[in-house]
Amino acid sequence: MFPVQDLENAITKIKDGDHLAREDFLDNCRPFVFKTACRVSRRVLEWGRDDELAVALIAFNEAIDRYQAESGVPFLAYARMVMRSRLTDHYRKESRIAKSSIPLPASGDVAGSLEYAKSWEVYWEEKAAGEREEEIKEFGDLLTSYGVTFEDLVKCSPRHRDTRQTLMRAAWSLVEEGSLFEELRHKKKLPLTELEKSTGIRRKNLERGRKYIIAMALLISRREEFLYLRSYLRIPSGYKEDTNE
């Protein structure tokens, strides 16, 4: 999966007509398409066997063309909504579900687009707002189970870039060291001694940034689910030094 920054650059290139960039982007995002389709279908799908994956991939490609960066919604969150809508239409046509929702106008259907544009825009805005609110609540509940609140994050978030880089490195190491992350999940406490050994970061610095490290590690571990928070905090798909102030 593309890091957040590279994802934005890729979409810009694609919209400028770079066909190779589109192919590379689709190929790199296939795991995200796969996971989304499996969640919607509530079963494990297989490429080349299940129509849902083809429907989802076409919808993802469609989302690239429809996406407007100025909407303020992360692209992956928007693409997820489009894929869900198309899969819902797919199931409805097969009479496998009877759930009502406002369908997304067919790609290239000018008349349909004009007819449904206003209703779809309202639906899309409400859906995005609902997803964002649900995501924030879910992450807040997750933090609470570890003794951390959003208020804590406001107070303990590092102001200096070097400190932020150090704590983010600790968070990434925590997630990538599977045994350490499992210890965090089991005990709900930061494994300070082990994390100090694996990162070389002094224990007192880890203790000071404990709540921030825990929060970032939890977000990193579920970054393909918490798409709005991931985009807002610019969490990449893999650790990369933060070069922004």
pLDDT tens profile 42-51 = 899 999 999 9
Looking at residue 69, the DSSP 8-state letter turns out to be G
CB neighbourhood size of 73 (10 A): 23
What mean pLDDT do residues 60-75 have? 87
| pLDDT attached to residue 8 | 81
pLDDT band at 242 (very low <50, low <70, confident <90, very high): very low
User: Is pLDDT at 245 greater than 50 in this prediction?
Assistant: no
Is the domain of 58 the same as that of 119? yes
Residue 73 lies in a domain: yes
Who has greater pLDDT, 9 or 102? 9
pLDDT recorded at residue 111: 45
What is the spatial distance between Cα 124 and Cα 121, in angstroms, rounded to a whole number?
5
Q: Is residue 229 part of a domain?
A: yes
Asked whether residue 243 is assigned to any structural domain, the reply reads no
pLDDT band for position 241 (cuts 50, 70, 90): very low
The separation between CA 95 and the C-alpha centre of its own chain, rounded to angstroms, equals: 30
User: pLDDT-based confidence at 106, cuts 50/70/90?
Assistant: low
Domain co-membership, 120 together with 190: no
Please compute the mean of the pLDDT values over residues 104-129 and round it to a whole number: 61
Sequence-ordered alpha helix ranges (H) in the chain:
4-15, 19-28, 30-41, 51-66, 75-93, 110-144, 150-156, 161-176, 178-187, 192-199, 203-208, 210-221, 227-233
In angstroms, the CA 238 to CA 245 distance is 19
Tell whether 13 and 122 lie within a shared domain.
Answer: yes
Average of per-residue pLDDT values in the chain: 84
Q: Are residues 121 and 154 in the same domain?
A: no
- Which of 126, 158, 178 is where one domain is finished? 126
Give yes or no for residue 219 having a pLDDT over 60.
yes
- The stretch 60-89 carries a mean pLDDT of 89
Answer for the pair 78, 58: CB distance below 8 angstroms, yes or no.
no
Q: Tally the domains of the chain.
A: 2
Residue 139 · residue 229 · CB < 8 Å: yes
Looking at the domain assignment, is residue 61 inside a domain?
Answer: yes
What pLDDT is stored for residue 87 in this prediction? 92
Predicted pLDDT at 129: 87
**Do both 161 and 195 map to the same domain?**
yes
The answer to whether the CB of 4 falls within 8 A of the CB of 236 is yes
* Residue 136 domain flag: no
The whole domain housing 115 covers 4-102+110-126
The answer to whether position 10 is within a domain reads yes
| Higher pLDDT among residues 221 and 109, named by residue | 221
Q: Residue 221: which region, alpha, beta or left (left: phi > 0; alpha: psi -120 to 50)? A: alpha
pLDDT at 240 over 60: no
What is the pTM (predicted TM-score) of this model? Answer: 0.69
Look up residue 109 and give its two tokens. 């259907």
